[in-house]
Amino acid sequence: MELVFLGTGAGVPSKERNVSAIALKLLQEQNCIWLFDCGEATQHQILYTSIKPRKITKIFISHLHGDHIYGLPGLLSSRSFQGGDTPLTIYGPQGLKSFIETSLNISGTHLTYPLTVMEISHGSIIKDEEITVYIEELDHVIPSFGFRIVENDKPGELLVHKLKEMGIEPGPIYQEIKEKAFVETSNGKRIYRKDVIGENKKGRIITILGDTRLSSRFTSFAKNADVLVHESTFREDKEALAEQYFHSTTSQAARLAKESNCKHLILTHISSRYQKEENEQLLQEAQAIFPQTDLAHDFSTFTIK
Amino acid sequence: MELVFLGTGAGVPSKERNVSAIALKLLQEQNCIWLFDCGEATQHQILYTSIKPRKITKIFISHLHGDHIYGLPGLLSSRSFQGGDTPLTIYGPQGLKSFIETSLNISGTHLTYPLTVMEISHGSIIKDEEITVYIEELDHVIPSFGFRIVENDKPGELLVHKLKEMGIEPGPIYQEIKEKAFVETSNGKRIYRKDVIGENKKGRIITILGDTRLSSRFTSFAKNADVLVHESTFREDKEALAEQYFHSTTSQAARLAKESNCKHLILTHISSRYQKEENEQLLQEAQAIFPQTDLAHDFSTFTIK
Ligand SMILES: [Zn+2]
Ligand SMILES: [Zn+2]
């Protein structure tokens, strides 16, 4: 799993930061990519990465502000133009469907692939074979959602030394033992999987919050996340402004990461009022509270082990 | 007058060319800028120019294909975000209003300036104090329009040597002579403006055609233009393909410029199939027919004298 930040600015594009979009690359896991938000020129940013639009199978939209959705019509059209033919599903707040339909219909765009738009609400759960996405409503000017992406636990490794002790040498039987509750050997002995397999490997957890004020409600939503991606529109001295505009500060994001026992915090959605040199200060404010913090720039990439 | 090409590609953005947008800078004439088409990321391109979105007072949309309109919602929002408060009028084909309204309403965007959307059709005329824009329907998959921008003729210069011969020395009376049909001097002599003023200065003419097949109808629409901006999606060997997709070739555009007695032809809307090194060949094909041809790149700027 890899997170690629395609746009890390707030509200309007600047030369330093494009508006919001994050790609979650699941190439090894599922040979596909999921996108979170799609601000204008997301498809332009993608030109400078190895991401192929046709590999994007799901798009999650946190809320309907322009800086999070105006890149959708163009990306959908280009995915088609470039010969994408695999299905695409978009999840987002009520109203999203009408925006997409109007944009595509008016421009006479006929997609070459099946497109489904699913409108989400608080408590929606999106279940995939290997991943479940939980959805929580945040606290923003308009309905805004967070996504908790939970990978299924994976069965542990076979305990080869134990099997060898039992006189079972490597061979096709190992695969059988992995797949069945028990296996009978040629000499009639039953081998129970639970006895010869290690502990379940915990699935990874990524929590991505859209634009929001801080709320204690989110502590359980971010609980134990391997990565928490949090907006950080303002510095800590602008808490009143953040409150007024339904956004968060660096230290609010860091407090949430700490209280939720997250492993790693990534700050994004940075106001263009902060110029290059101030980025370091934003980061330090968060790290003072939660040391395992990074501040995303456009094209920042993080591997989630 | 200055033409700035903000996007010169066809269909989809590439690293070399963004999708369509052209700015006509009328800063000296009217202290404003007009925009022709507004593909996705036009506002991003503008960041790399001296253009201020609040200076844009009119936007003309040739047709509703995504590569010509998907940048509108973002540009309109940013113009507001950056404190624009002067009126903006957008002219374009039927359906444009619904696209703009849906995009702005769904994203909860409240503009800080008055926005008017005027739907145009063949024969529409947009009259401004100093400029008249004529509109002609082109020949494309969906309704597509061309714009003939005609500057009013300006009165000639005062013939100072003639005035001096008549014994009238420079002073406030010169302004008076310019403004009135005749002026009476202190000694009761009548000076008629027409006798002491040079020939009218012809207004400039710019014809900008949206996506289209070639048609002989356009000869009069482009007649005597100082600049003809013409799409040139394909090279001359792809005339059949151009016909099929309702586009034009390099040499078709050049023939129109020649037959219309234009002074200057600028080719744009170049297919991404043509890489950097092929651009020179596209240009040569057109120049073989009409030598005063340029091929626009993103940020190409042309002054119209
Ligand atoms: Zn935002
Ligand atoms: Zn086009």
Confidence (pLDDT) at A264: 98
Confidence (pLDDT) at A69: 98
Confidence (pLDDT) at B54: 95
Task: List the binding residues of A.
Answer: 63, 65, 67-68, 140, 211, 269
Is pLDDT above 90 for A71? yes
Residues A70 and A177 reside in one and the same domain: no
Residues B214 and B132 reside in one and the same domain: yes
- Residues (pLDDT < 50) of chain B are none
Residues B256 and B273 reside in one and the same domain: yes
Distance in angstroms (rounded) separating the CA atoms of residues A71 and B68: 14
Confidence (pLDDT) at B117: 98
Given a contact cutoff of 8 angstroms between Cβ atoms, the answer to whether A297 and A5 are in contact is: yes
Distance in angstroms (rounded) separating the CA atoms of residues A250 and A267: 8
Is pLDDT above 90 for A187? no
Confidence (pLDDT) at B188: 84
Confidence (pLDDT) at B186: 81
Whether residues A65 and B12 touch (CB distance < 8 A) is answered with no
Confidence (pLDDT) at A185: 84
Is pLDDT above 90 for A154? no
Confidence (pLDDT) at B206: 98
B→A contacts (Cβ < 8 Å), by residue, are: 11-15, 18, 40-41, 43-44, 47-48, 64-67, 69-71, 73-74, 77-78, 81-82, 95-96, 98-99, 102-103, 106-109, 141-142
Residues A41 and A167 reside in one and the same domain: no
Is pLDDT above 90 for A129? no
Residues A205 and A292 reside in one and the same domain: yes
Pick the residue of B20, B40, B42, B79 with the most A CBs within 10 A to test the interface with A by mutation.
B40
Confidence (pLDDT) at B84: 87
Closest chain A residue by Cα to residue B12: A78
Nearest to B98 among A40, A106, A109 (CB): A106
Q: Which residues contact A105 (CB under 8 A, 6 or more apart)?
A: none
Tell me which chain B residues have a C-beta less than 8 angstroms from the C-beta of A103. 66, 70, 99, 102-103
Distance in angstroms (rounded) separating the CA atoms of residues A198 and A156: 5
Confidence (pLDDT) at A268: 97
Q: Give A20-41 pLDDT, tens digit per residue.
A: 999 999 988 899 999 999 999 9
Is pLDDT above 90 for A277? no
The mean pLDDT value for A256-271 works out to: 97
Residues B84 and B185 reside in one and the same domain: no
Residues A75 and A169 reside in one and the same domain: no
Confidence (pLDDT) at B276: 82
Parent domain of A11: 2-154+200-303
Q: What is the pTM of this model?
A: 0.91
Tell me which chain B residues have a C-beta less than 8 angstroms from the C-beta of A77. 12, 66-67, 70
What are the tokens at B15?
């690293």
| Distance from the A23 Cα atom to the nearest Cα atom in chain B, whole angstroms | 19
State the total domains in chain B.
Answer: 2
Confidence (pLDDT) at A169: 86
Residues B111 and B244 reside in one and the same domain: yes
CATH label of the domain that carries residue A147: 3.60.15.10
Is pLDDT above 90 for A223? yes
Phi-psi label, residue B216: left if phi above 0, alpha if psi -120 to 50, beta otherwise: alpha
